[in-house]
Copies of this chain bind each other. A is one copy, B any other.
């Protein structure tokens, strides 16, 4: 459904959120250990999230990644997915066609549209705050 990069992005963001809720910054090393992801690849993905202003970073000793507590509610899974994978999942035809959407819909068009709509709905209505706080045993769940 999502790319690997996007999956790591979601998990990393959840972990960073949990740390930020306790006033801690998360280092790349911590993140990649806790979400069990390849460290260098994760680094690239975190940089994308920083550019998208979903997370923030500071360099140097005691640096790391964090999330503004004011933003916890407004960062949604949808936002992360869009930042990493783009909006193809919400807009693309399930059959990979480019130019027929709408005009002469095939029998699946409406059904696909429904699915995409409900998917979009779920991803947009699930924010990082609820994800991070909902995970009682969050760290273990983010691994493997």
Contacts and interface: CB of A to CB of B under 8 A. Distances in A.
Measured as residues with beta carbon below 8 angstroms from the partner, the interface class of chain A is 35 or more
A111 B134 CA distance: 14
Interface of A: 1-2, 4, 7-8, 10-11, 77, 89, 92, 94-100, 104, 106-108, 111-112, 114-115, 118-119, 122, 126, 130-131, 134-138, 140-144
Contacts of A1: 1, 89, 92, 94
Total copies of this chain within the assembly: 2
Nearest to A3: B96
A107 B130 contact: yes
Given A106-B135, A107-B134, A108-B131, A144 B99 contact: yes
A136 B104 contact: yes
A122 B131 contact: no
Contacts of A135: 106-107
Nearest to A6: B96
B96 A2 contact: yes
Contacts of A104: 136-137, 140-141
Nearest to A96: B7
Chain B CB within 10 Å, residue with most, of A106, A119, A137, A144: A106
